Structure 1
Amino acid sequence: MLPSAVAREFDPSRVGPKSRRTVRDWMADFTCFLAAVFLGMLGADAVADNPHIAQGYAEFDQVLGALACAAVWLRRRWPVGLALVMVPISVASDTAGGAAAVALFTLAVHRPFRYVAWIGGLSIAVVPLTFWLRPDPAMSYGVAIAFGVLLTGAVIGWGMFVRSRRELLLSLRDRAVRAENEAALRAEQAQRLAREDIAREMHDVLAHRLTLLSVHAGALEFRPDAPREEIVRAAGVIRESSHEALQDLRQVIGVLRGGEADASGRPQPTLAALDTLVAESRDAGMKVVLANRLTDPDLDTVPAALGRTAYRIAQEGLTNARKHAPGAEVTVTVTGAPGEGLTLSVRNPAPPGDVPEVPGSGQGLIGLAERASLAGGRFGHRAGPDGGFHLEAWLPWAS
């Protein structure tokens, strides 16, 4: 189905009976009508002065030409039919020559080349017959034929030029619309990706803190008779985790409000902060073993972008172990070297006791897979046959 603009320009018969001409359409149709009338008047004068035409035929020629000029108003509805009918009429009437030229021009503008080729070729073929029936007193037969063929070809060429120009303008307009739509889609996609990044960052940052709060609050709820030292330690962890979560939340809100990622003054953690993360987990009562097997054991040598991704993966792994395997010993292993890549794994056996009900949706593992993929790496996780859990990520490390 053609768009309305293309249908109006190149296929007026598809616009529908209820469509109304625009001001531009009325002006174009009126101009074509005046052109047909003007050329018809010239043809009528030529017929009246032509000694080769029998007396009484001039009136018939003029009546036929007037009807042809009136039919010009039908050019938008039936361009093919009008141009085809005008071929024999133009042979019989010189006054209808202007209307025939307008019909042929309209055909070249509004219809494909196959229609123009057949009807235009037929119009050229009848030129010798026209001048044989009504010779021109001012020109020889050969010159008259050449002039008629040249004039018909010029009308067809002009119409095809107008059609090509309109097609070019419509193509440029369509490209502009597509470019605007693509720009809107790119903007929408960029907004969606930004929202996903913010959501992933909020999950990675806040889940670790809130899990600490949930675990220790649950311990206080189910063990109100715990020793005072444990209660004090749990309360301290809750207070510290609440403070850290509030700071992290302020940082993310600052980003949402258009600020920079470090607007709070707190730099994004890298792999150099892994020791602090492990110590924090140990303070919360977890059993964590950190195995640093890098070629250069100094974690500060790891690039910042790579280190941030590895840190978030380790943080999420420890958070999951704290939620789903409380009391189990967790092993965090970091291996790799420049040019070989960095491998980080978090492994834990089955929990020794009952696992408390801790809310979770599995979005963390999905976010880690997206992080690793965006960094050009790989991420996988699996449950062990003994009830344990193992997650591992490989990230590229340029040499």
Structure 2
Amino acid sequence: MSTVSADVRVPEPPEHSGRHWLLPSAVIHEFEPDASRPGRRPRRTARDWIVDFTCFLLAVLVGIVGADAVTDNPHVPHALAVVDQWTGALACAAVWLRRRWPVGLAVATIPVGMFSDTAGGACMIALFTLAVHRPFRYVAWVGGVTIALIPLYFWLRPDPELTYFVAVVIFVLLTAVLVGWGLLVRAKRQLMLSLRDRSRRAETEARLRAEQAQQLAREAIAREMHDVLAHRLTLLSVHAGALEFRPDAPHAEVARAAGVIRESAHEALQDLREIIGVLRAGEADDAGRPQPTLAALDHLAAESREAGAKVTLDNRVTDPAAVPASVGRTAYRIAQEGLTNARKHAPGAEVTVSVSGAPGEGLTISVRNPRPDGEIPHVPGSGQGLIGLTERATLAGGRLEHGPQGDGGFGVRAWLPWG
């Protein structure tokens, strides 16, 4: 299982290689957390200034053409032509406000466009801006009213060069193209924002999965800590208790017990040092020594016998090396915890460790001890060892049962998948 460093930061918005000026402000402020604060308008980018100036220039050019057409139109009085031109000039200047008030500008250009040919370019820019920056309902109302007034406009002010029907069709199609173009630009921007949100969600989910994997790894390390240290410390407790209650024991037994205490303390410190190293490195495979497998059961039984326990190992697996490492490690920890519990709660009782199985059938391991002679000692315990073993077996795809036996003893039985 791989984990990540504990220093996990919240994912930042996607970078754009210093080319923010290529994006519109309506999009770029979504990538800048500070720009999304309430009451703060997105600042214009260089692209915005270029687009705004182009729109203003286009409105002016169309306005000049419209002003010439008004001057040459015999159906328009001179005074109305002057008002038309001044109104168109103001409408062109108002194009610079299209980003701040797109709806208001589009609504205001509807009556203006009814009597001013010079404002035609500004009206088109306002309608296009509305389609880009506002939802479709606003575009539908303003665009629908604009299209509905086109026949009335050419009825009041006929075009000197085009017939009534041709002029109406051309301007209706032009309005529809402007609206469609604006909606296409808006859809493209929304797609960019959607991809950005999807990227953020993917990074957040990846971070959460990494944190979950890290938490599972730490829980596994905690179980290893309990299984390993409980076994070592139990040896210390047993031999220290023997020295306490038998101070007159022969010198050879005292020396042997002291040697076991020293070795167990050294092994416990070594295991604790490895666990701390794993926690610091963040990787479960960084331990200094290889993890025990099923082949290490003989050494575990011999170690318990040296501590004074009566252990009978019945290993019917013909080739322990063929057992998968994860399954063998789980079986080893089950046997280790069973021997530790038997040593604490049933001192002096003979413990039987049985292992059997084959590929395709699974691996079965049991640790049993009879009721000890005399009074059962009261040893404090939290019960977390058996809970951890149950979780370990479940994670390995197996099952574990434990509890008192009919003869008053205690047994632990587990089945683990193999192949």
For 1:348, the aligned partner's letter is N
Distance 1:126 1:255, change over 3 A: same
Are residues 207 and 224 of structure 1, via their aligned partners in 2, closer, same or farther at CA, if it must alter by over 3 Å? same
Q: How does 1:324-363 map to 2 (within 5 A)?
A: 324-351=345-372, 352-355=374-377, 357-358=379-380, 360-363=381-384
Of 241, 244, 252 in structure 2, the residue corresponding to residue 221 of structure 1 is: 244
**Cα deviation 1:251-300 (Å, max 9, x = unaligned):** 54565576995875x543222221221222122122333344x4x55544
Q: Distance between the aligned counterparts of 2:217 and 2:140, measured in 1?
A: 56
Q: Would the aligned equivalents of 1:262 and 1:268 in 2 still touch at CA under 8 Å?
A: no
**Are the equivalent residues in 2 in contact too, given 1:369–1:379 (CA < 8 A)?**
yes
Q: CA distance change for structure 1 residues 37 and 219 in 2, over 3 Å: closer, same or farther?
A: farther
Instruction: Judge conservation of contact 1:289–1:332 (CA < 8 Å) in 2.
Output: yes
The match for 1:320 is 341
Larger CA deviation: 30-39 vs 54-63: 30-39
Match for 2:358: what amino acid? A
Structure 1 unmatched runs, 5+: 10-14
SS at match of 1:346: strand
In 1, the alpha carbon distance for the partners of 2:245 and 2:58 equals: 98
Give distance in 1, aligned partners of 2:198 and 2:235. Answer: 55
In 2, are the aligned partners of 1:251 and 1:261 still within 8 Å (CA)? no
1:105-129 per-position Cα deviation (integer Å, ceiling 9, x unaligned): 1111122223323322322222222
CA contact 1:254–1:261 (8 Å) conserved in 2: no
Residue in structure 2 matched with residue 12 of structure 1 by the alignment: none
What code does the residue aligned with 1:391 have? Answer: V
TM-score (norm 2): 0.80
Deviations 1:317-372 (A, max 9, x none): 111222233333333222333212112122334554352545x4443333323322
Partners of 2:89 and 2:42 lie apart in 1 by 23
1:216-270 Cα offsets, whole Å, 9 max, x none, are 2233234434444442332122122223334444554565576995875x54322
Please give the secondary structure, in 1, of the residue aligned with 2:99.
coil
Change (3 A) 1:218 1:95: farther
Partner of 1:306: 327
Letter aligned with residue 243 of structure 1: H
Seen in structure 2, the aligned counterparts of structure 1 residues 301 and 189 have a Cα distance that, compared at 3 Å, is closer
Query: Is structure 2 residue 258 aligned with structure 1 residue 235?
Result: yes
Kindly indicate whether the alpha-carbon contact (under 8 Å) linking 2:217 and 2:284 is maintained by their aligned counterparts in 1. Answer: no
Instruction: Please tell me the root mean square deviation across aligned C-alpha atoms, in Å.
Output: 3.3
Aligned with residue 197 of structure 1, among 201, 220, 228: 220
Q: Report % sequence identity.
A: 70
C-alpha separation between the residues in 2 aligned to 1:180 and 1:206? 38
Q: How many angstroms apart in 2 are the aligned matches of 1:362 and 1:32?
A: 76
2:108 paired residue number: 85
Distance 1:278 1:334 in 2: 13
Alpha-carbon shift at residue 167 of structure 1 (Å): 1.4
Which residue, 46, 59, 65 being the options, matches 1:42?
A: 65
Matched to 1:109, the amino acid is V
Q: Deviation at 1:27?
A: 5.4
Tell me, yes or no, if the aligned pair for 1:124 and 1:149 is still in contact at 8 Å.
Answer: yes
Match of 1:167 in 2: 190
Kindly provide the amino acid, as one letter, of the partner of residue 355 in structure 1.
P
In the alignment, the residues of structure 2 paired with residue 74 and residue 297 of structure 1 have an alpha-carbon distance, to the nearest angstrom, of 86
In structure 1, the partner of 2:397 is: 376
- Of 270, 275, 293 in structure 2, the residue corresponding to residue 270 of structure 1 is 293
1:136 and 1:168 map into 2 onto residues whose CA distance is 41
- Show the counterpart of 1:132: 155
Q: In structure 2, the residue corresponding to 1:126 is in which secondary structure?
A: helix
Which residue of 1 is the match for residue 412 of structure 2?
391
Partners of 2:38 and 2:396 in 1: CA distance: 60
Aligned partners of 1:291, 1:112: CA distance in 2, in Å? 77
Q: Do structure 1's residue 96 and structure 2's residue 96 form an aligned pair?
A: no
The alignment's TM-score, normalised by the length of structure 1, stands at 0.83
Give the corresponding residue for 2:92: 69
Question: In structure 2, what is the Cα distance between the partners aligned to 1:383 and 1:48?
Answer: 108
Higher mean C-alpha displacement, 52-61 vs 18-27: 18-27
Cα shift readout 1:11-70 (whole Å, capped 9, x = no counterpart)? xxxx89832341325555454444334433332222122111123111222343344334
Q: 1:103 to 1:388 in 2, by over 3 A?
A: farther
Contact 2:314 2:353 in 1 (8 A): yes
Segments of 5+ residues of structure 2 without an aligned counterpart are 1-12, 14-24, 31-35
